[in-house]
Amino acid sequence: MSEQDTMEFNSGMAAFEAKHFSRAAQLLSPLAERGNDEAQHRLAIMCQNGLGVVRNEESAVKWMRAAAEQGNALAQHGLGFMYLEGDCVDADAAQAVHWFRLAAEQGLAGARMTLSMLYAEGRGVEADPAESRRWAKLAGLDE
């Protein structure tokens, strides 16, 4: 990332954290277009929730998927929830499991807990109590 991009990224992230979402979107959009996965993830959140921009389901999925496909665990987790809840996409529990698993394999505790629940309930996968316990243990949950 160039020095200019780094400055814009840091300013965009600071604006996001300060809840100045329209400014964050303005700063992060060009970086997302250039492939920055963190900018893509934050832009997806803003589009999904109408923060600083008009809610745009198509853009939310586009940016969340772009970041997730680059290996961003938080975006993989976010895309998993989109599929699990049918938010911005048609509900698809098997797709949810796919994205949660990618995030869980990177160590994201929330994704591990969700996978544990999905295996316990048999949503998107065959019910498997042993696999549910394994993911719960990896998430740090006591049996």
Q: Catalogue all structural domains in the chain, each as residue range(s) with its CATH number.
A: 1-70 (1.25.40), 73-143 (1.25.40.10)
Residues 16-33 have pLDDT tens digits of 999 999 999 999 999 999
Residue 102 has pLDDT above 80, yes or no: yes
Angle among Cα 28, 63, 53 to the nearest 5 degrees reads: 55
Alpha-carbon 8 to chain mean position: 22
- Residue 142 confidence class, pLDDT cut points 50, 70, 90: low
Q: What is the mean pLDDT of residues 138-143?
A: 78
pTM: 0.93
Residue 67 has pLDDT above 90, yes or no: yes
Residue 143 has pLDDT above 70, yes or no: no
Of all residues in the chain, what percent carry a pLDDT higher than 90?
Answer: 95
Rounded CA-CA distance 87/84 in Å is 8
DSSP structural state of residue 36: -
- Residue 46 confidence class, pLDDT cut points 50, 70, 90: very high
